[in-house]
Amino acid sequence: MNFFIDEANKIKISYNDLVARMNSKKEIKKYIYSSNIEDVVTNFVASLYYGYDVVLLDGDFSSKELTLLNVTEEDLKSKELLKNDKKIKSIDEVIEKIKDNINAVQIAIYTSGTTGAPKKFIHPLSLLMRNIKISEKHSSDIWGFAYNITHFAGVQVFLQALMNKNPIINLFNKNFDNADMLLKKYKCTCISATPTFYRNFIFVHNEENVNIKYATFGGEKFDNALIIKAKNKFPNAKIRNIYASTEVGSLLSGLNDSFKIPEKLKSLIKISSENHLLIHSSLLEKNKIIDDWYDTNDIVAMNEDGTFKILSRDSDFINVGGYKVNPEEVESCILQINGVLDVAVIGRANSVLGNILIANIRKDEKYADTELKKKILDTLKSELQYFKIPRIINFVSNIERNRSGKKVRK
């Protein structure tokens, strides 16, 4: 039974292999820091099984970045010796032991750093397992794994697959053209990814994939153009939009780009007078904050039916000539234009306006640059105020992403 497959790195581990690796382990490191995904998944499962707290670090953190995070060489070398007197017999034994340790293990995860330096948040395993569904119904799932495993969303998907003994097909940081091929080759039934990830292969490989029965979106704004494309791409899939963060975990779920606060959370989630989404400190578990309410920095807009949409992060807004521009609004407009595969709108310092807008666009090569640029500008002029229209349009081969797979606009 396959456990983890990473074709790009020629890794193929079965669940029996995983058990054998755990039986041969002599020590546990509290800090998981490796560029080898094989080592990361093995050590992470071993920590959960043996009941040790763990800190997940991106394998490509530089020594300078580790210093900024207050992680020392001594931390990376610290380890606990194991006494493997009793050998693990099966993956079922591993899963049951992880269930037993649900209140005993704490996992430290760093934010992606989109609004500054990454911040560490410590979560009990119980919080990370809160939305994991373990049942016979999910035993035949096959996961397309499109997140960084050391980040919150990656941990969630990994645990969902592991606890149901599902195969995991690694898609993260791979050529997007290969993502569609791998999903079909391994007959993946489930995938969870950022909208940026989906756009980069759905808009190119738009033929149907009837195997996918569950597709979730998270980490970025989920626009209506992508919803339509996703439904056409995955005609048999249940599509969900998830609001989650490293700070508080998974909180809200919706069928489109709007969310509704469930009754059980109405006293713990609110919207401020500045239209910021606030989370009560009690939901942050062991992560202490000074105030009773934690500001997510997400700006929302209320709908007439009482639901709300996430507009953008407050820190993403760009000041253009005294106007605050939401780059995601401009991107959503551009993404509706045929020939545009993806776009990132960023600000560049300008002595007169403070900033000017630049649109970096990944396009379908069937479209000529001059004609597509004219079409984009004509569309923007008809739909947006003048100060929201990018002064510069660049056609690029790739849109830059950060370690968690989210679009970079800085």
pLDDT at 155: 94
pLDDT at 328: 87
**Are 364 and 249 in a shared domain?**
no
Contacts of range 338-341, beta carbons closer than 8 Å, 24 or more positions apart: 338/367, 339/363, 339/364, 339/366, 339/367, 339/372, 339/375, 340/364, 340/372, 340/376, 341/199, 341/200, 341/203, 341/204
> Tokens standing for 192?
């969870």
**Are 249 and 321 in a shared domain?**
no
pLDDT at 90: 96
Residue 407 forms part of a structural domain: no
pLDDT at 62: 85
pLDDT at 113: 60
User: If we measure between CA atoms, which residue out of 324, 328, 299, 327 comes closest to residue 313?
Assistant: 299
Distinct helix (H) and strand (E) counts, the chain: 12, 24
Can you tell me the distance from the alpha carbon of 129 to that of 271, in angstroms, rounded to the nearest whole number?
27
**Are 222 and 328 in a shared domain?**
no
Q: What total of structural domains would you count in the chain?
A: 2
pLDDT at 291: 72
Q: What is the pLDDT along the chain (410 residues), one digit of tens a residue?
A: 999 999 988 999 999 999 999 999 999 999 999 999 999 999 999 999 999 999 999 988 888 889 988 999 999 999 988 876 788 999 999 999 999 999 999 999 988 765 556 788 889 999 899 889 999 999 999 999 999 999 999 999 999 999 999 999 999 876 677 889 999 999 999 999 988 888 878 877 888 999 999 999 988 877 777 888 899 999 999 999 998 887 777 888 888 888 998 888 889 899 998 899 998 888 876 566 667 888 888 888 888 888 888 888 777 888 898 888 888 889 989 998 999 998 999 998 887 788 899 999 999 999 999 999 999 999 999 999 888 999 999 999 888 887 777 777 76
pLDDT at 287: 62
**Are 131 and 222 in a shared domain?**
yes
**Are 136 and 227 in a shared domain?**
yes
pLDDT at 211: 96
**H or E segment at 335?**
helix 327-335
Q: 287: burial class by Cβ within 10 Å (0-12, 13-18, 19+)?
A: middle
Residue 409 forms part of a structural domain: no
Q: Is 291 helix (H, G, I), strand (E, B) or coil?
A: coil
pTM above 0.85? no
pLDDT at 71: 93
Can you tell me the distance from the alpha carbon of 151 to that of 170, in angstroms, rounded to the nearest whole number?
15
User: If we measure between CA atoms, which residue out of 245, 240, 155 comes closest to residue 190?
Assistant: 240
Instruction: Look up the CATH number of the domain holding residue 347.
Output: 3.30.300.30
**Are 333 and 203 in a shared domain?**
no
Can you tell me the distance from the alpha carbon of 283 to that of 310, in angstroms, rounded to the nearest whole number?
20
**Are 215 and 339 in a shared domain?**
no
Residue 278 forms part of a structural domain: no
pLDDT at 285: 61
Which of residues 256, 283, 298 is at a domain's end?
Answer: 256
**Are 223 and 328 in a shared domain?**
no
If one counts every other C-beta atom within 10 angstroms of the C-beta of residue 251, the result is 20
**Are 214 and 145 in a shared domain?**
yes
pLDDT at 290: 60
User: Residue 269 pairs with which residues in a beta bridge?
Assistant: 279
**Are 122 and 224 in a shared domain?**
yes
Residue 279 forms part of a structural domain: no
pLDDT at 120: 86
**Are 125 and 224 in a shared domain?**
yes
**Are 245 and 332 in a shared domain?**
no
Q: Which domain holds residue 130?
A: 2-256
Can you tell me the distance from the alpha carbon of 359 to that of 367, in angstroms, rounded to the nearest whole number?
17
Residue 172 forms part of a structural domain: yes
Which of residues 219, 236, 256 is at a domain's end?
Answer: 256
Instruction: Look up the CATH number of the domain holding residue 240.
Output: 3.40.50.12780
Residue 365 forms part of a structural domain: yes
Can you tell me the distance from the alpha carbon of 49 to that of 86, in angstroms, rounded to the nearest whole number?
13
Which of residues 213, 238, 256 is at a domain's end?
Answer: 256
Residue 176 forms part of a structural domain: yes
Residue 16 forms part of a structural domain: yes
